[in-house]
Amino acid sequence: MDNSLVFSKITKNTDVVFALMVVSIIVMFIIPLPTMLLDMLLAANITFAMVIILVSIYTTEPLDLSVFPSLLLFATLFRLGLNISTTRLILGQGYAGEIIMSFGDFVVGGNYVVGLIIFLIIVVIQFVVITKGAERVAEVAARFTLDAMPGKQMSIDADLNAGVIDNVEAKREREKIRQEADFYGAMDGASKFVKGDAIAGIIITFINIVGGLVIGVLQQDMGIAQAAQTYILLTVGDGLVSQIPALLISTATGMVVTRAASDNNMGNEMTEQLLT
C-alpha cells in the first residue's frame, strides 16, 4: 500500500489513533514489555518532551496550545506507564534496556553515588523551583481570568452598542474570553499532574532502590556493594531517563502559563525587548 495513502488514513482518524494510544498506555501497566520496545518508547518519550517545549517556545499566545492541559495528562500517564515497565524489568531481570544502561554508565560515569546526587538535584529543581512556580502562576492566572470576565464582557457589549464591532466580531470575542477562562482553569488543575508526577518519581526511585537491594542480597546472593552497584545504578539511570523529559515538560508548562499574548514567539520577543 502507498505510504501517502496510509498517512492520509491516519490523519483522518486521529481520534481513533489517540484512543488506541491511551489504551496502549493502560496495557503497559499490566503486560511486561520487551527491552527493545521499551528503549523505543523511552526514546519517544524524550523526543515528545522536546517537541512540547519547542512548540511552547514558538507559541505566540496560550490559546494556540489549548490542548496543553490534556497533553500534560497524557504525558504524565505515558511516563508513569514507562516507570512501571522499567521497574518490572529492573527488579525482575536486573536489566532494563540500552537507554537506561547508557544513562547509568555515560551520564554518571558508572558511579551510582554521583548518579543519585544528580538525580536528587534534578528532582529538587523540577519540584521545588519549576513545578511549584508553574502551579502558583496557573492558579493566579485562572483566578484573575475569571475575575476579569465580567469587565471584558461589558467592554464587548459597549463596543457592540457603539458600532465599533459587529455581531460576528462580538461573538468571536466572547468565545475567546470563554476559551481563556476554560484554558487557565484547566491549566490550574493540570499543573497538579506535573506536581504529582514529580512526587511519584521520587517514591518510585526509593522503592526501586530498596526493592533492588532486597532482591540482590536475599534472592541473588549478592553482596550489599554489588547489589547497590547493580540496582542503584539501574534505578538512577531509570530516574534520569524519566525525570529529564518531566523537567522539559514542567519547563514548557511554566512557559505556557507565564506567556502573554503577542504577535511574536518568545525568542523574537525576548530579543526585541532585551536588545532594543
Residue range 132-181, pLDDT digits in tens: 777 777 777 778 777 878 888 888 888 778 877 778 888 888 888 888 77
Amino acid at residue number 163: G
> Among 43, 28, 32, which residue's Cα sits nearest to residue 98?
43
CA dist list (Å): 63 to 68, 95, 120, 184, 230:
9, 43, 34, 9, 47
Predicted TM-score (pTM) of the model is 0.80
Gyration radius from the chain CA atoms: 23
pLDDT at residue 262, as a whole number: 57
Q: Identify the DSSP state of 97.
A: -
CA distance 208 to 146: 43
pLDDT tens-digit series, residues 72-110: 888 888 888 888 888 888 888 777 778 888 877 776 676
Amino acid at residue number 239: G
pLDDT tens-digit series, residues 25-50: 888 888 888 888 888 888 899 998 89
**How confident is the prediction for the chain on average, in pLDDT?**
79
The pLDDT of 194-213, averaged and rounded, is 83
What is the grid cell recorded at 210? 530498596
Note whether 153 and 177 are within 8 A (CB).
yes
